[in-house]
């Protein structure tokens, strides 16, 4: 792993596994405002899962103002799914388990 990738992973702070942080390595701006520093990974539906489906790239400022509303969660999940699919993310068992646990929610909001 090159030095630039290591630095970038460190900047995507939050307790997600390294493989999830690596999945978002090429997303260089906040989902909400477009700033590109400092970026963090946000647990969209809370810390119930470290699945990539539960991760959103936010700047520190936007992350501090998240209200965990249904509308916010739905929009962040839409962006995350689009990003992961477009980048050929290989979904793992914990991603499938997270999806299955929240299947009704995902099916309602994911009109991609």
Q: From the first residue on, what is the mean pLDDT of each consecutive set of 10 residues in the chain (112 residues)? A: 49 77 86 89 89 93 90 90 92 91 73 52
pLDDT at 16: 87
For position 63, what pLDDT does the model report?
A: 92
Closest CA to 77 of 110, 40, 35, 37: 110
- pLDDT at residue number 43: 93
What is the phi-psi region of residue 58: left when phi exceeds 0, alpha when psi lies from -120 to 50, beta otherwise? Answer: beta
Answer whether 58's CB lies under 8 Å from 38's CB.
Answer: no
Coil, strand or helix at 54: helix
The tokens of 70 are what?
A: 């249904």
Q: Would you put residue 88 in left (φ > 0), alpha (ψ -120 to 50) or beta?
A: left
Nearest Cα neighbor of 48 from 107, 99, 11 is: 99
Question: Where in the chain are the domains?
Answer: 3-109
Return the pLDDT at 1. Answer: 46
CB under 8 Å to 48, separation ≥6 — which residues? 54
């Amino acid at each position: 792993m090159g030095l630039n990738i290591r630095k970038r992973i460190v900047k995507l702070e939050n307790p997600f596994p390294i493989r999830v942080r690596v999945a978002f390595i090429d997303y260089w701006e906040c989902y909400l405002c477009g700033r590109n520093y400092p970026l963090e990974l946000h647990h969209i539906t809370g810390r119930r899962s470290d699945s990539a489906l539960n991760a959103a790239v936010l700047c520190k400022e936007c992350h501090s103002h998240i209200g965990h509303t249904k509308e916010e969660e739905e929009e962040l999940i839409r962006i995350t799914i689009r990003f992961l699919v477009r980048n050929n993310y290989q979904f793992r068992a914990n991603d499938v388990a997270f999806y299955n646990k929240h299947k009704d929610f995902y099916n309602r909001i994911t009109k991609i």
